[in-house]
Amino acid sequence: MSESANQQEDYVTLYNEAFEKFRMLALWSSRPVPNPTPADALAITRSLRVEGNLDSRRLAERIERACRAAV
């Protein structure tokens, strides 16, 4: 498997994790998309930071790193 495929899987995995763990707390106003792009993943990071808790903020940072690596 190529390195870019591993990176894509990483931000997709983190995106899905965000909705599993923080949907009711921080992502209540967002809907998950079936095949998220880096832009989709970055779009939820603000809500994770503002509406969420320390764990959701850390996840937002991980999503941002994974998205930067995927570009």
What confidence tens digit (pLDDT) does each residue in 8-62 have? 569 999 999 999 999 999 999 999 999 999 999 999 999 999 999 999 999 999 9
DSSP conformational letter for 23:
T
Q: What is the DSSP string of 29-56?
A: T----SS--HHHHHHTHHHHHHHS-HHH
Q: How far apart are CA 12 and CA 16, in angstroms?
A: 6
Residue 8 has a pLDDT of 53
Q: pTM of this prediction?
A: 0.85
Residue 5, both tokens: 């495929």
Residue 70 has a pLDDT of 86
Of 52, 68, 1, nearest in space to 17 by CA: 52
Residue 3 has a pLDDT of 52
Residue 6 has a pLDDT of 54
Residue 40 has a pLDDT of 97
